[in-house]
Amino acid sequence: MTANTSVGQQFACPSCGRPASAPASIHRTSEGSVRYSRCECGRWLVTLAGRVVGAAGR
Ligand SMILES: [Zn+2]
């Protein structure tokens, strides 16, 4: 089952729960595309290959 492969899905900020805005920066790696999206609360959401892998800033 590979139904969850849609591109452009939104990610919720782990800090405030708001949906992240469009990625400000995208880097391609061997593991997939790493995207950095800035949240309204000031955090940076880091997503890799469609999964949230971390958050930076505050
Ligand atoms: Zn946030």
Q: Is 19 inside any structural domain?
A: no
Q: Is 41 inside any structural domain?
A: yes
**Number of domains making up the chain:** 1
Which residues form the domain of 31?
Answer: 25-56
Please tell me the distance between residue 12's alpha carbon and the centre of ligand 1 in angstroms: 8
Q: Is 14 inside any structural domain?
A: no
Q: Is 45 inside any structural domain?
A: yes
Give residue for tokens 């595309």. Answer: 33
Q: Is 40 inside any structural domain?
A: yes
Order of all β-strands in the sheet with 44-48: 25-29, 32-38, 44-48, 51-56
Please tell me the distance between residue 17's alpha carbon and the centre of ligand 1 in angstroms: 6
Q: Which residues pair with 33 in a beta bridge?
A: 28
Q: Is 13 inside any structural domain?
A: no
pLDDT (0 to 100) of residue 26: 94
Q: Is 46 inside any structural domain?
A: yes
| pLDDT tens-place string over residues 1-58 | 555 444 455 678 888 988 877 889 999 999 999 999 988 898 888 989 878 888 877 6
Please tell me the distance between residue 37's alpha carbon and the centre of ligand 1 in angstroms: 10
Q: Is 31 inside any structural domain?
A: yes
